[in-house]
Amino acid sequence: MSLPEPRDEFGVVTRFFARHLPSLRPLSIVLCLSVAVNGRAAAPLAQAPDGHLTVPAYVDGSGPYAFILDTGADASAVYPWLAEKLKLPGGKSDDLSGQTGTVSVPMYRLNRLSIDRHHLQDAAAFGLPKRADGGEEAGVAGNDLMDGAVVVFDFPCQRVEFHSKPVRLRAIVPKEAMPVDGGAIQDGTVLTLPVRINGVPGVALLDTGSRDSRISPEFAAASGVDPKAATFRDGEPIYGFNAKSTPSRVGPVESIRFAGLLRAQAQLRVIDLPALRSAGVGDRVMILGMDLMRDYRLVYDHQEKRLWFGSSACRR
């Protein structure tokens, strides 16, 4: 599964209830709405044209629509075309914070948001601004939906499973997976985990809604990563809610270690983002995106602040 260079990214939300990115229109590319896994249903993960991984979701019984299932989003959100199509009841505006800044957006009421037989009732959803790259996404399902379940992202198998609690973890966690106790950020629910870049310790924000991984300039300097080197190139601009682009440089690092895993010669985007500065976890911070997760099985318990990375059921 190759992930193209991002053109429009909102990133990890840094405020309570803030959130993230997109999905596709009514699932024309998702041919099956569920797959059987050990006798239970699982939702397929499909790659949208912009590179985001999406799952089929139902909003107030209508759908399916492609939503990003986003560990980097505190709460769920919808794009303007879906709010208009479903005539969602609106409310007062509120501040929505993402990787590139904060903007005031309308709020909507969702009676029910459903993915893989798991439901979020009576949800306050942010109205996302129209994407700068013209993408036709439907919305984002955030940590508010994933609470109350243990969520299994099996990226090589291209599926996601919701396991309602209580859960027999031994049945879903890979045997070799190392348990990670997630940390917290300021004014948000995004989980963090320890990371080492070229042997230098730092903190990563877990973000399945980010197509690539991003590192602060301070963490880059501490780990000996020089974005001005010839091995780096200009990255495509990152756009946020305010439609202002943020420059970046993309290039290789020798090694990244997280959750007991080692990734050698990985690519990182060096970028200065408000979300990285305001996370409250220090200057050596990064966003752990899909490019570093896509070869693994992620077991995610947001409520208990615990996660595991291990081998996929499709790659024993």
Rounded Cα gap, residues 47 and 290, in angstroms: 12
Q: Please state which CATH class domain 180-296+303-307 belongs to.
A: mainly beta
Q: How confident is the model at residue 129 (pLDDT cuts 50, 70, 90)?
A: confident
Count of CB atoms situated within 10 Å of the CB of 84: 10
Q: Is the predicted pLDDT of residue 36 greater than 80, yes or no? A: no
CB 200 within 8 A of CB 222: yes
228-236 average pLDDT score: 95
How far from the centroid of its chain's Cα atoms is residue 262's Cα?
A: 21
220-224 average pLDDT score: 97
Question: Helix, strand, or coil here: 181?
Answer: strand
Query: 35-171: what fold?
Result: Cathepsin D, subunit A; domain 1 (2.40.70)
What pLDDT is recorded for position 134?
60
Looking at every residue in the chain, the average pLDDT score rounds to 84
Which parts of the chain fold into alpha helices (H)? 80-86, 143-146, 217-222, 274-277, 290-293
Nearest one of 53, 29, 52, 56 to 42, comparing CA atoms: 56
pLDDT digit string (tens) for 149-197?
999 999 999 999 999 999 999 999 999 999 999 999 988 999 999 999 9
Q: Which residue has the higher pLDDT, 114 or 36?
A: 114
What is the longest distance spanned by two Cα atoms in the chain? 52
* Domain ranges, ordered by start, for the chain: 35-171, 180-296+303-307
Q: Please return the burial class of 261, using the count of CB atoms within 10 Å of its CB with bins 0-12, 13-18 and 19+.
A: middle
Bridge partners of residue 108, in order along the sequence = 90, 125
What pLDDT is recorded for position 118?
93
Rounded Cα gap, residues 169 and 114, in angstroms: 23
The DSSP bridge pattern shows strands 233-234 and 249-258 to be antiparallel
What pLDDT is recorded for position 21?
35
Q: How far apart are the two ends of the chain, measured CA to CA in Å?
A: 18
What pLDDT is recorded for position 95?
63
Taken in order 140, 144, 145, 147, the sign of the CA dihedral is positive
What pLDDT is recorded for position 84?
93
Rounded Cα gap, residues 201 and 223, in angstroms: 9
Q: Which residue has the higher pLDDT, 225 or 239?
A: 225
28-37 average pLDDT score: 43
CA of 111: how far to CAs of 88, 89, 123, in Å?
Answer: 9, 10, 6
Q: Which two tokens stand for residue 85?
A: 């199509």
5-14, 175-184, 214-223, 276-285: least confidently modelled range: 5-14
Q: How confident is the model at residue 316 (pLDDT cuts 50, 70, 90)?
A: low
Q: Which residue has the higher pLDDT, 244 or 206?
A: 206
Count of CB atoms situated within 10 Å of the CB of 194: 14
pLDDT digit string (tens) for 261-306?
999 999 999 999 877 877 899 999 999 999 999 999 999 999 999 9
Q: Is the predicted pLDDT of residue 97 greater than 70, yes or no? A: no
pLDDT digit string (tens) for 47-81?
888 888 999 999 999 999 999 999 999 999 999 99
Amino acid at site 263 = R
What pLDDT is recorded for position 217?
96
Q: Is the predicted pLDDT of residue 86 greater than 60, yes or no? A: yes
Rounded Cα gap, residues 293 and 212, in angstroms: 10
Same CATH topology for 35-171 and 180-296+303-307? Answer: yes
Q: Is the predicted pLDDT of residue 9 greater than 60, yes or no? A: no
What pLDDT is recorded for position 160?
97
Rounded Cα gap, residues 223 and 199, in angstroms: 7
Rounded Cα gap, residues 305 and 21, in angstroms: 22
Bridge partners of residue 301, in order along the sequence = 306
What pLDDT is recorded for position 277?
79
Q: Is the predicted pLDDT of residue 227 greater than 90, yes or no? A: yes
| DSSP for residue 281 | S
